[in-house]
Amino acid sequence: MKNTGVDIEKLLRENKAIQIRPQGYSMYPFLVPGRDEVVIESVDPHKVKRGDVILYRRTGSILVLHRVYRHDKTGIYMVGDNQTEIEGPIREEQVKGILVGMVRNGKYVPVSAPIYRITSRIWLRLRIFRPVIGKTIRKLLRKNGE
């Protein structure tokens, strides 16, 4: 997450929802930098489950918005939607908030929307095939762009 000068963690501790623009392509294609904004609220880390997109602070480092791959007694394991490598475990105290919706092209889309829930679940299950899928899509886009 880009440093905006706003104390994101403080706002979330005060149970205030925040709306920010994510940076980078680790959550592509679900979140596109420059186009999408995310709405994040505070969350009880014990309630975080597979498929949720959470905001967490890497140890001694930056805030990251990634999807929960697994949450068990050893911790929470994360993966970006444009990545195959699983990160973790992260500790529950590193969790700062949870994605509740996004603003895409001026329209609010809650994570409870059926199309979002279905596509994000499928995409999470296709984790190991993402490089092949991405390569195929890029090839098709290049072919159509010629």
pTM, whole model, 2 decimals? 0.85
Is 52 within the bounds of a domain?
A: yes
Please report, for the domain that includes residue 70, its CATH number: 2.10.109.10
Mean pLDDT on 40-69: 96
Question: What is the C-alpha separation between 129 and 50, in angstroms, rounded?
Answer: 18
Is 1 within the bounds of a domain?
A: no
pLDDT at res. 29: 84
* pLDDT tens string 127-145: 788 778 777 877 887 877 6
pLDDT at res. 28: 86
Is 136 within the bounds of a domain?
A: yes
Q: Residue 33: is its pLDDT beyond 60?
A: yes
What is the b/e burial string over 100-132, where b = at least 16 CB atoms within 10 angstroms of the residue's CB?
bbbeeeeeeeebeeeebeeebeebeeebeebee
pLDDT at res. 18: 97
Question: What is the C-alpha separation between 53 and 47, in angstroms, rounded?
Answer: 12
Is 40 within the bounds of a domain?
A: yes
What CA–CA distances, in Å, run from 58 to 16, 39, 62, 95, 106? 22, 20, 6, 9, 30
Is 130 within the bounds of a domain?
A: yes
* pLDDT tens string 93-114: 999 999 999 999 999 999 999 9
| Domain that includes residue 23, residue range | 8-145
- Number of compact structural domains in the chain: 1
**Residue of 47 and 130 predicted with greater confidence:** 47
